[in-house]
Amino acid sequence: MLGLLGLRVSEACSVRIQDTHGLERGHRTLTLVGKGRKPATIPLPLPVAEVMDAAAGERDSGPLLLRADGKQMDRRAATRVVVRLAKKAAIKKHISPHSLRRHSFVTACLDAGVPLRDVQIAARHSDPRMTTRYDRARGNLDRHANYIVVGFIEGST
């Protein structure tokens, strides 16, 4: 939910099962109240919806993410899970829920060719400058505008 939906860790921890079954214009959606008490409706790609359903199991209401003791996960517990999984995967770099949410999500969107405005909306940033701050690959020459312009002029895009 952090890396693929761009949720903040507090948002992911507060997701309730009943909030994951909305439908809007043919899309299954997640509804939540985000930063600044702003409501958000987020489409759920099928693989994400399937994992959410697996996390819910037989439950049809209540918090989606639970700690090992059955209580609702909070941001500290989520951080421990992310750190533990990174260590298990032998990732030496410091990984946090925030780095998954902001840096990875924004960078992956931009690398996939999603326009900055759409990434800004998905990340729920009020200012596009905030979105570009999280783009770890902004110095990546592979997606430099020059290539897009030349492709456009040549008629290949």
> So which residues are the catalytic ones?
8, 35, 98, 101, 125, 134
Strand, helix or coil for residue 72: strand
Alpha carbons 131 and 118: distance in angstroms, whole number: 10
Residue 83, burial from CB neighbour count under 10 angstroms (0-12, 13-18, 19+): middle
For the four alpha carbons of 9, 13, 19 and 22, in that order, the dihedral sign comes to positive
Location of structure tokens 């533990």: 84
Amino acid at site 143: R
Q: How far is CA 114 from the centre of its chain?
A: 14
Closest CA to 52 of 102, 122, 99, 5: 5
> How many C-beta atoms lie closer than 10 Å to residue 1's C-beta?
26
